[in-house]
Chain A
């Protein structure tokens, strides 16, 4: 199937629904999981849902700005993953766990 027929037979709203579902799955993961690394992964999933929406709009409207924003989101996601994982490793050294339920030392 060539991309041209995809554009003709598929509305952009299908991509909106798909990325909404992906975003909500990521949100469900963030709310339910207690492992900090899996939490970061769920955030990556939500970022990817947004990326997919950006690319869909950019392709359907013929504007390349959306794809560049995806590029910048990827940059931020990579930086976030690196720093987040460094923090998690650091916390693991102190608490021997990555359970976010244990990260309540700042509560006072």
Chain B
């Protein structure tokens, strides 16, 4: 309450305090999920141990999937879990473990950079929020509940979006070939180099 009276001193801040109070009237499922999402995201960003960051990011993806379920996007919720939490994050975790990165060899930066980054990110958030506040028109709600199901999404994907779908397949193939090439060819090169170069250094 003390903070609220402080905020009312300036007229511009009354709206913010009102907004914060109106948050309490939101559905508890959304509030709890948003809280978990933001908390885990902050943990990802601030924690200095990369392995913990990956685990927190997996938790973030789980809560975002729960948001998708709340928004009636069941197919995307499952795909998000399988692709992001299942495949991509395991890839990250594998690379972290393979490279044996832990807290000791985590590079650090000066505190001035932290302040500058916090200011710039906060300013971006401020601009986004202000732009949203200016254009506060509510979107028409004609949400059909079955939109996020596999049947409807598949129908649209294979008719309207067939060309992008095929192109993304080609992209995947190119990425796969590129990843294998980067991972494999370079290793032989480096091995032949590492036989000669360390003596020079």
Contact = CB atoms under 8 A, between A and B. Distances in A.
Q: State whether these chains interact.
A: yes
B30 interface: yes
Q: Which among A7, A29, A64, A71 has the highest number of chain B CB atoms within 10 Å?
A: A64
B133 to A, nearest CB: 9
A71 B157 CA distance: 10
Contacts of B128: 16, 20, 23-24
A86 B183 contact: yes
B38 A67 contact: no
Nearest to B176: A82
Given A37-B50, A81-B92, A101-B107, A22 B41 contact: yes
Contacts of B105: 97
Interface residues of B, number: 91
Interface in B17-45: 26-30, 34, 37-38, 41-42, 44-45
B141 A86 contact: no
Contacts of B121: 24-25, 27-28, 31
Interface in A25-72: 25-29, 31-35, 37-38, 40-42, 44-45, 48, 51-52, 55-65, 67-68, 70-72
Interface residues of A, number: 80
Contact of A25 (B26, B27, B42, B161): B42
A71 B152 CA distance: 14
Contacts of B125: 20-21, 24
User: What's the dominant secondary structure at chain A's contact region?
Assistant: helix
Interface in B150-201: 152-153, 156-157, 160-161, 164, 168, 171-172, 174-176, 178-180, 182-183, 186-187, 190
A9 to B, nearest CB: 5
A18 to B, nearest CB: 5
A71 B172 CA distance: 13
12 contacts: A13-B136, A22-B38, A34-B108, A41-B44, A44-B88, A48-B84, A55-B73, A60-B139, A62-B144, A65-B156, A71-B76, A79-B172
